[in-house]
Amino acid sequence: QKEVEQDPGPLSVPEGAIVSLNCTYSNSAFQYFMWYRQYSRKGPELLMYTYSSGNKEDGRFTAQVDKSSKYISLFIRDSQPSDSATYLCAMSARDSGYSTLTFGKGTMLLVSP
């Protein structure tokens, strides 16, 4: 079983739709969770960062972490064509002075006007 599972998509939605992107993981030591957005042929950019369980909201974006289910989500409200990108989840378990991230393979989102 891979450490982080993420549906590759593509996920196609009309403009204005609510989008739900998800990742599941197997390592219960993960406690830091991130979402990155990557436009075609660009580097990933940090979108959301959460520590442990709970929700975090930033504008149209909400990140949700359920550690008991080992499941994280990113919700996008009022989706826009400019949200079309690949979304990568990432997580880490700090066990020393430094840590590395484990990434999902990314979900491609297409928002049509």
Partner 1 sequence: DVKVTQSSRYLVKRTGEKVFLECVQDMDHENMFWYRQDPGLGLRLIYFSYDVKMKEKGDIPEGYSVSREKKERFSLILESASTNQTSMYLCASTHGGAETQYFGPGTRLLVL
Write out the binding residues for partner 1, residues 56-95 only, by CB under 8 A. Answer: 88, 90, 92, 94
Which amino acid is residue 65, in one-letter code?
V
- 44 in contact with partner 1 (CB under 8 A): yes
Chain center to CA of 1: 19
- Least distance in Å: CB of 18 to partner 1? 26
Q: Which residues contact 10 (CB under 8 A, 6 or more apart)?
A: 107, 108, 109, 110
Taking a C-beta distance cutoff of 8 angstroms, is the pair 67, 25 a contact?
no
- Determine the interface stretch with partner 1 among 15-23, 30-38, 60-68, 72-80 (rule: CB under 8 A): 30-38
Judged by CB under 8 A, the residue of 43, 59, 82, 113 near partner 1 is: 43
- 97 in contact with partner 1 (CB under 8 A): yes
